[in-house]
């Protein structure tokens, strides 16, 4: 069973590599992935030498892919962390329940976290009520999901989801191994079929959206790469413009903000400056690492319902 899962994983990695060179957006794990797997997986009884080899080949496929694109070896950027040194001590082995997942089909994702000696990482800090947050986006960032894999045992997390359409998806696992800093591990999943036309993201000049009967306005001051930027969301009812001042805590805070650059390389997970706020304002402080186009998703909860509001900005 394990062998099948790993074979499936490889074919996906190779498919991903093939698709990649055509659009040139270069998204392999680059050098990072290579480092992760060179150690091999033989240390644990359940992982034979063959598995170590196949895992390594899969990563090589992706490394080659990264080199084709414009962003070879980007791993350092995507895996944003407060302690990059810790991050290199950790790697993830991703497994999928289907070799070639179909649109709208249940897909179980298993993420095994191991240290540089291939030992399972078993202790995680709880961060905003969860041991792991998993962000799933389509390559063009038109699809966004934020889910919470369940910790099983021996460093393994598992989650079942459905991906809406053919094409490539990036998954970003965000977690804190106890005693280390916050870190991420990422993977690409390819859903079978002919991918719909990718939509280029257009920066929006007007940052106001209506979602779930709420009108959300985003104001950003100091929108410039490398600057401390303040993101201020103002939320009112769309029908009568009444300010919404009874937002409910979502995962222990007034809201959560996830930001990705258009090329998916830069990932930011931002928490509010005042977590106990209830609206109509929710403020977040962050810093955009580089200039370029970014998509920002704000997540809030009101009357028992979580809603997501996306914005696209250009950071000078």
Beta strands in 180-262 (DSSP E): 183-191, 208-211, 214-221, 228-237, 256-261
- Residue whose CB is less far from Cu ion, 133 or 170: 133
Quote the least distance from Cβ 197 to Cu ion, whole Å: 30
Q: In this structure, what token pair is assigned to residue 231?
A: 């993101």
The two tokens of residue 47 are 């992982």
**Among the candidate windows 49-57, 128-136, 150-158, 182-190, which touches Cu ion by CB under 5 A?**
128-136
Binding residues among 151-210 for Cu ion as defined by CB under 5 A: none
Question: Counting contacts by CB under 5 A, is residue 214 touching Cu ion?
Answer: no
**50 HSE (CA, 13 A, CB side):** 5
User: How far, in Å, CA of 185 to CA of 175, rounded?
Assistant: 9
Task: Report the nearest approach of Cu ion to the CB of residue 131 (Å).
Answer: 10
The Cα–Cα gap between 237 and 180 comes to 42
Is the CB of 114 or the CB of 133 nearer to Cu ion? 133
* Residue 173 or 313 having the CB closest to Cu ion: 173
Residue 133 interacts with Cu ion (CB under 5 A): yes or no: yes
Measured from the CB atom, the residue of 175 and 188 that comes closer to Cu ion is 175
Q: Quick one: 155 or 255, whose CB is closer to Cu ion?
A: 255
Walk across the sheet containing 167-175 and list its strands. Answer: 144-147, 132-138, 167-175, 183-191
Residue 269 binds to Cu ion (criterion: CB under 5 A) = no
Query: Least distance from C-beta 178 to Cu ion, angstroms?
Result: 18
Least distance (Å) between residue 270 CB and Cu ion: 12
> Applying CB under 5 A, which part among 99-107, 131-139, 204-212, 302-310 lies near Cu ion?
131-139
Task: Decide if 12 contacts 96 (C-beta within 8 A).
Answer: yes
Q: Are 297 and 258 a contacting pair, CB within 8 Å?
A: yes
Distance CA 159, CA 88 (A): 24
In the complex, the smallest distance separating the C-beta of residue 277 from Cu ion, rounded to whole angstroms, is 18
How far apart are CB 33 and Cu ion at their closest, in Å? Answer: 24
Residue nearest to Cu ion according to CB distances in the complex: 133
Of 78 and 190, the one with the shorter C-beta distance to Cu ion is 78
By CB atoms closer than 10 A (0-12, 13-18, 19+), residue 267 is: buried
Count of chain residues binding Cu ion (CB under 5 A): 1
Half-sphere exposure of 49 (CA within 13 A, CB side): 0
Of the candidates 300, 59, 303, 78, the residue with the CA atom closest to the CA atom of residue 184: 78
With contacts defined by CB under 5 A, name the span among 126-134, 216-224, 229-237, 308-316 that binds Cu ion: 126-134
Report the residue number, 29 or 133, with the smaller CB distance to Cu ion.
133
Q: Can you give the binding site for Cu ion, defined by CB under 5 A?
A: 133
């Amino acid at each position: 069973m394990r062998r099948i899962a790993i074979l499936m994983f490889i074919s996906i990695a190779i498919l991903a590599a093939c698709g990649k060179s055509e659009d040139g957006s270069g998204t392999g794990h680059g050098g990072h992935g290579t480092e992760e797997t060179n150690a091999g997986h033989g240390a644990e009884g359940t992982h034979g030498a063959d598995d170590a080899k196949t895992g390594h080949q899969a990563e090589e496929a992706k490394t080659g892919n990264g080199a084709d694109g414009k962003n070879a070896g980007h791993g350092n950027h995507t895996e944003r962390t407060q302690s990059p040194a810790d991050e290199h001590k950790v790697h993830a082995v991703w497994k999928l329940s289907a070799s070639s997942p179909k649109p709208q089909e249940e897909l179980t994702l298993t993420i095994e976290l191991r240290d540089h000696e291939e030992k399972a990482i078993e202790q995680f800090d709880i961060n905003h009520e969860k041991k792991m947050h998993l962000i799933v986006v389509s390559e063009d960032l038109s699809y966004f999901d934020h889910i919470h894999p369940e910790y099983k045992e021996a460093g393994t997390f598992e989650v079942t989801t459905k991906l809406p359409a053919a094409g490539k998806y990036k998954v970003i696992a965000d977690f804190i191994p106890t005693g280390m800093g916050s870190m991420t591990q990422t993977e690409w999943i390819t859903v079978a079929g002919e991918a719909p036309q990718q939509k280029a993201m257009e920066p929006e000049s007007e940052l106001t959206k209506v979602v779930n009967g709420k009108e959300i306005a985003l104001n950003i001051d100091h929108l410039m790469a490398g600057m401390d930027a303040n993101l201020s969301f103002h939320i009112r009812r769309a029908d009568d413009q009444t300010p919404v001042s009874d937002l409910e805590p979502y995962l222990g805070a007034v809201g959560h903000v996830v930001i990705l650059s258009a090329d998916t390389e830069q990932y930011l997970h931002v928490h509010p400056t005042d977590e106990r706020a209830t609206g109509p304002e929710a403020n977040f402080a962050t810093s955009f690492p580089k200039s370029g186009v970014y998509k920002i998703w704000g997540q809030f909860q009101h009357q028992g319902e979580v809603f997501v509001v996306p914005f696209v900005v250009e950071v000078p």
